[in-house]
Structure 1
Amino acid sequence: MRGLGGAVIMRHELRIIGTMPGSTLLGILLPIVLAALTQGLFAAAVPTTSADGTGGAELAVPGMAVAFAALGVGRPGFAFFRDHAWGTWDRLRASPASTLDIVVGKVAPWVIMSLVQMLGLFAVAVPLLGFRVSGSWPALVLVLLATALCLSVFGALLAAVSRTSQQLNSVSGLCGLVLAALGGALVPLPALPNWVSSVAPALPTHWAVRGLHMVVLERGGLADAAVPLGALLGFTAVFAALTTLRFRSAESKIYWG
């Protein structure tokens, strides 16, 4: 019954996401526009070890994919606040679903949403920007999936520590910007101050960008992406553990629209 309850919650959340196709498309269009505008700037940072024919698009597109996933880190958190605003949270708690089922059912659809947007960005970039992947597409998908999972679980953690939707909005916005900027997604690390290179490995976005660069730029396969994948899964485990420790299903949340 518990697993079934989580599946029902997940389907319901997916239906809600499905009523917002504009948001999904915007998550593809905005990064592709920014990638198109900045690929000339990114071209100067393409490593000399990259595959032949690699240009700025191969650096800009993965960066924008990770950056916008990070900037949207608060989306899973707002799924929890929405139920409090609608008065349906107590019904979820009274259902056969456990707290874990509820959290997984709320977060998993946003993992899928983030993955779809990043894959959509890569697919659109192929004909529009001449983007190409020199390495393994399965490795690319795994890195994107690990990135989506990590950032979505982090979003659940932000919801767990936030009391109001305004707090969540502020904290997620700040965290998303820090993750995108200092992780080397918005701007390549070589173009940033030297101290950023020392801080970047402490952020999951750094490993997401590194994994994508290995696959896209350096002909990488699953073995080459193993370290970034391991780092992303390690961050995910830490975020999940902290969410478990802090999340209180009986704690009321205040939604201010």
Structure 2
Amino acid sequence: MPRDSALRTAALVRLNTALLLRESGPLVSRLVLPLILLTLMRPLYQAAQGGAAGTEQAVVGILVMFSLLGMSLVGSAVLQERVWRTWDRLRTTPARPVELLAGKGLPVLVALLLQQALVLGYGAGLLGLDVRAPALLGVACLAWTVALLAMGAALGAAARSFGELSAAYDIGGMLLSALGGALVPLAELPRWVGAVAPLSPGYWGFGALRGAVRGDAGAVFAASGALLGFAAVAGVAAAWAIGRGRARSDRL
């Protein structure tokens, strides 16, 4: 990375980290709520699927659901620039779209990885989740988080208001979680759900994380590849939306 680009990106990362920590309510809720729900729901999953299988479904499924809801962190960070009327100003700076996205996304990357570490650590340390391949779990978490960041940035770049963004990630997060088998195993759902499940990033996120817990390298790398595909498409869409906005600003 050229030095000027690195300096611009670092400055944006520092600024957006400060903004994320100053308005920390959404971040705290994304960290605390999955632990509460996991504690309450684990006995239900254990009763339905058995001890170890129920714990695995509860930990991985709830993590997938709340990490999808965590897309709101990066989406809100992008959209709030419009609310503050600073978005057009950022577009006309020397910073490229990819630098703007990195500046917004890297602080959230750390937040999402922290969320995953807390949920998985809680599951392994206190609930008896048997993680057979910690290294593979790191690969799965990173691929899943990159996909979340790209999708969240695309939503933030496309949404016209916080209400629209909230509806997108609330409804979308729950829908993608359900279609991915995170809330209820796909075997227990209607057949058509299983047929469309691979269209959901939640399906691949759940598959990658569950594969790592079970020590299945093939499942982890296949699902991680699919997640990076989702990330590439969403990242291009987000960069295009920001670049188009810059072009419009230049013509004004």
Alignment TM class, shorter chain as reference:
0.7 to 0.9
| 2:18 alignment partner in structure 1 | 15
Q: Contact 1:61–1:121 at 8 Å: present in 2 too?
A: yes
1:21 CA displacement:
4.9
SS at match of 1:249: helix
Match of 2:232, as an amino acid?
A
Matches within 5 A, 1:144-163: 144-163=141-160
Higher helix residue share: 2
1:20 CA displacement:
4.6
SS at match of 2:71: coil
Matches within 5 A, 1:34-45: 34-43=37-46, 44-45=48-49
| 2:129 alignment partner in structure 1 | 131
| 2:68 alignment partner in structure 1 | 70
TM-score for both structures, normalised by structure 1: 0.85
> CA offsets, 1:70-125, max 9 Å, x none?
12223212112222223333442343312221122112221221111111111122
1:24 CA displacement:
3.5
TM-score for both structures, normalised by structure 2: 0.86
Q: Contact 1:110–1:152 at 8 Å: present in 2 too?
A: yes
Match of 1:192, as an amino acid?
L
| 1:5 alignment partner in structure 2 | 8
- Identical positions, percent: 34
Change in CA separation of 1:163 and 1:25 when aligned onto 2, cut-off 3 Å: closer
Quote the RMSD (CA, aligned, Å).
Answer: 2.2
> CA offsets, 1:206-227, max 9 Å, x none?
01111111221x3334x44110
Q: Contact 2:34–2:66 at 8 Å: present in 1 too?
A: yes
Matches within 5 A, 1:1-257: 1-43=4-46, 44-45=48-49, 54-133=52-131, 135-216=132-213, 218-221=214-217, 223-247=218-242, 248-250=244-246
Q: What is the alpha-carbon distance in structure 1 between the residues aligned to residue 119 and residue 25 of structure 2? A: 15
Q: Which moved more, 1:192-201 or 1:160-169?
A: 160-169
Q: What is the alpha-carbon distance in structure 1 between the residues aligned to residue 161 and residue 23 of structure 2? A: 23
Segments of structure 2 that go 5 or more residues without pairing to the other structure are none
Change in CA separation of 1:89 and 1:242 when aligned onto 2, cut-off 3 Å: closer
Change in CA separation of 1:80 and 1:23 when aligned onto 2, cut-off 3 Å: closer
Q: What is the alpha-carbon distance in structure 1 between the residues aligned to residue 32 and residue 112 of structure 2? A: 14
Match of 2:215, as an amino acid?
R
Match of 1:220, as an amino acid?
D
Change in CA separation of 1:246 and 1:81 when aligned onto 2, cut-off 3 Å: closer
Segments of structure 1 that go 5 or more residues without pairing to the other structure are 47-52, 253-257
